Amino acid sequence: VEKGSPAPHLQKVGKITRKQVREIAEVKLNDMNTRNIDAIMRQIEGTARQMGIEVVD
């Protein structure tokens, strides 16, 4: 995705799976201030939603 959505709750610009979110979380694990992978995943999912990216199972 080149650019996030100007209206993220109305216009989606892409999709990401929970498996992909977990992979991103594992990469970012050392950079985050927690070691709880679920917390990191929730943070990534929230960021994705704010950009207009839909998180799917």
What is the reported pTM?
0.88
pLDDT score at 19: 98
* Structural domain boundaries enclosing 26: 14-56
Residue 31 lies in a domain: yes
pLDDT band per the 50, 70, 90 thresholds, residue 1: confident
Residue 36 domain-assigned?
yes
Is 32 a member of any domain? yes
Q: What is the pLDDT of residues 12-56, one digit of tens each?
A: 999 999 999 999 999 999 999 999 999 999 999 999 999 999 999
Asked if residue 27 belongs to a domain, the reply is: yes
Q: Is residue 34 part of a domain?
A: yes
- pLDDT reported for residue 2: 85
* Total structural domains within the chain: 1
CATH number of the CATH domain containing 22: 1.10.10.250
Encode the chain in three state secondary structure: CCCCCCCCCCCCCEEEEHHHHHHHHHHHHHHCCCCCHHHHHHHHHHHHHHHCEEEEC
